[in-house]
Chain A
């Protein structure tokens, strides 16, 4: 199969060579061509060129209507929002515009030990969890799922996680269904990219497609010992 895939470009190139050679070689000298055939060819070529011109106009309209997200300006804006989001979370400023609360869960904790388990370990799916220990929670555990508060339409947010007790009221389980997003990225042609500093694909995509835009913020009573399973990264606040 791999061998077949490697010869596909050669086959395609051979087809292109053959098409050009046959088209040109089959052609009679201009003086010998029937007038009708010449006219028909000219009409086809004109039609082709008109279609190309119209598609240029159509693309221009689509670009202005759908918006461009990969521009440097937008990238800088996203980078700033990214920074603001984590700053706001670290400073517990949850009312900041860069932070959006999606869901909140409350549980009654038995004892002073809390185990956080990631049920997606096998899939390599990780969680970023902020843990804050508070004096006046009286045996309660509060888990809140936050996302970045912007870019709903173009920044692709993951599915909401599901957070539940395992039944023992000391183990909090997190599960999230992986979201698959198929995107068509419109890119400039190589002769343009060669001089715009983006010679190869994907050089500027890292930030735009940054999907680390979710946080589970857990508040536990002070004195609680928090343990975690693999693929679960804890940042202790305070």
Chain B
């Protein structure tokens, strides 16, 4: 037993740094899903559109990092889902820890992952475009709208927020899944209803996707993420009481 009483901040910091330096598999998974997305992106683009006035037929292949963005969102969800698993909790036993510091460290770690993920999403988009441009040459390449520095920062912030949202939802879902068989069943049924219930997934995604005022979008994402995160912590406490 230690006689030193570490502060909350130092306990959180130690756990956070341990996760950041130790869990390289998280980044290997990120790299792998992004390489898969790049492969599909280079191969077929993310959209196709044909237009004709009779004398000319234009076959347009849209190229962007959208697929990387989508795959990275899945990555964020799955990583957060497994973040507070039994194995990961046991690995944290080398530190002086409690629920509060563990969840705080996880939260900060997920924010960091979201930012790193967002940077790689934007750079991955450039990678796909560069490859397509080099392979096809300037004759068949059309740069629709050029990037500005502002675009890059908006893209970075928005992508980070989307990844944060996915990870917060994943963290909450992971906590439900750890509650036992019934909870797992509820989670699966909930997931399937969101997927297949008439228009539910559209309504949920439109709440974020259709928002074109940046400040309101930030508010929506932060509030939803916070709610999901707090609920995950609350569930975690309930789980401890039951045990």
CB pair A178 B57 closer than 8 Å: yes
Q: Once bound together, how far apart are the Cα atoms of A21 and B127, in whole Å?
A: 25
CB pair A23 B126 closer than 8 Å: no
Residues in B with CB closer than 8 Å to A197 are: 212
Q: Once bound together, how far apart are the Cα atoms of A202 and B66, in whole Å?
A: 15
Q: Once bound together, how far apart are the Cα atoms of A184 and B27, in whole Å?
A: 31
A70-B74 contact given A176-B55, A209-B51, CB 8 Å threshold: no
Residues in B with CB closer than 8 Å to A190 are: 64, 66, 69
Choose one: A13, A71, A180, A201; the contact of B62 (CB below 8 Å): A201
Stretch in contact with the other chain, from A57-65, A93-101, A164-172, A222-230 = A57-65
Asked if A7 is an interface residue, CB under 8 A from chain B, the answer is no
Q: Once bound together, how far apart are the Cα atoms of A85 and B151, in whole Å?
A: 34
Residues in A with CB closer than 8 Å to B121 are: 189, 191
CB pair A192 B143 closer than 8 Å: no
Which of chain B's residues 46-61 have a Cβ closer than 8 Å to chain A?
Answer: 46-47, 49, 51, 53-61
Which of chain B's residues 164-214 have a Cβ closer than 8 Å to chain A?
Answer: 209-212, 214
The residue in chain B whose Cβ has the minimal distance to the Cβ of A125 is B54
Q: Is the interface of B mostly helix, strand, loop or mixed?
A: helix
Which of B23, B56, B61 has the most chain A CB atoms inside 10 A of its CB? Answer: B56
A214-B55 contact given A26-B25, A69-B143, A184-B142, CB 8 Å threshold: yes
Asked if A51 is an interface residue, CB under 8 A from chain B, the answer is yes
The minimal Cβ–Cβ distance linking B22 to chain A, given in whole angstroms, is 3
Asked if A44 is an interface residue, CB under 8 A from chain B, the answer is yes
A45-B127 contact given A15-B36, A154-B142, A211-B53, CB 8 Å threshold: no
Asked if B12 is an interface residue, CB under 8 A from chain A, the answer is no
The minimal Cβ–Cβ distance linking A86 to chain B, given in whole angstroms, is 15
CB pair A159 B55 closer than 8 Å: yes
A66-B214 contact given A191-B155, A204-B144, CB 8 Å threshold: no
CB pair B69 A191 closer than 8 Å: yes
The residue in chain B whose Cβ has the minimal distance to the Cβ of A53 is B123
CB pair A189 B25 closer than 8 Å: no
Asked if B45 is an interface residue, CB under 8 A from chain A, the answer is yes
Residues in A with CB closer than 8 Å to B78 are: 17, 20-21, 24
The residue in chain A whose Cβ has the minimal distance to the Cβ of B214 is A195
Asked if A29 is an interface residue, CB under 8 A from chain B, the answer is yes
CB pair A189 B66 closer than 8 Å: yes
Asked if B82 is an interface residue, CB under 8 A from chain A, the answer is yes
A195-B145 contact given A183-B60, A211-B53, CB 8 Å threshold: no
The minimal Cβ–Cβ distance linking B60 to chain A, given in whole angstroms, is 5
Q: Once bound together, how far apart are the Cα atoms of A19 and B35, in whole Å?
A: 11
CB pair A70 B214 closer than 8 Å: no
CB pair B25 A55 closer than 8 Å: no
Residues in B with CB closer than 8 Å to A15 are: 36
Asked if B26 is an interface residue, CB under 8 A from chain A, the answer is yes
Which of chain A's residues 12-68 have a Cβ closer than 8 Å to chain B?
Answer: 12-13, 15-17, 19-21, 23-27, 29-31, 33, 38, 41-42, 44-45, 48-49, 51-53, 55-56, 58-60, 62-63, 66-68
Stretch in contact with the other chain, from B104-112, B129-137, B222-230, B235-243 = B129-137
CB pair A41 B24 closer than 8 Å: yes
CB pair B140 A182 closer than 8 Å: yes
Residues in B with CB closer than 8 Å to A201 are: 46-47, 49, 62
Asked if A185 is an interface residue, CB under 8 A from chain B, the answer is yes
Q: Once bound together, how far apart are the Cα atoms of A159 and B151, in whole Å?
A: 38
CB pair A45 B24 closer than 8 Å: yes
Which of chain B's residues 108-164 have a Cβ closer than 8 Å to chain A?
Answer: 120-127, 129-134, 136, 138, 140-147, 151, 154-155, 158-159, 162
Residues in B with CB closer than 8 Å to A31 are: 22, 91, 94
Residues in B with CB closer than 8 Å to A108 are: none
Which of chain A's residues 77-124 have a Cβ closer than 8 Å to chain B?
Answer: 120, 123-124
CB pair B127 A51 closer than 8 Å: yes
Subset of 12 A-B contacts with CB under 8 Å: A24-B79, A33-B22, A41-B25, A59-B129, A62-B130, A178-B54, A178-B57, A184-B141, A185-B62, A190-B69, A194-B211, A209-B58
Question: What 10 A-B pairs come out closest when comparing CB atoms?
Answer: A30-B22, A27-B25, A125-B54, A70-B144, A191-B158, A52-B123, A68-B146, A55-B127, A158-B55, A23-B29
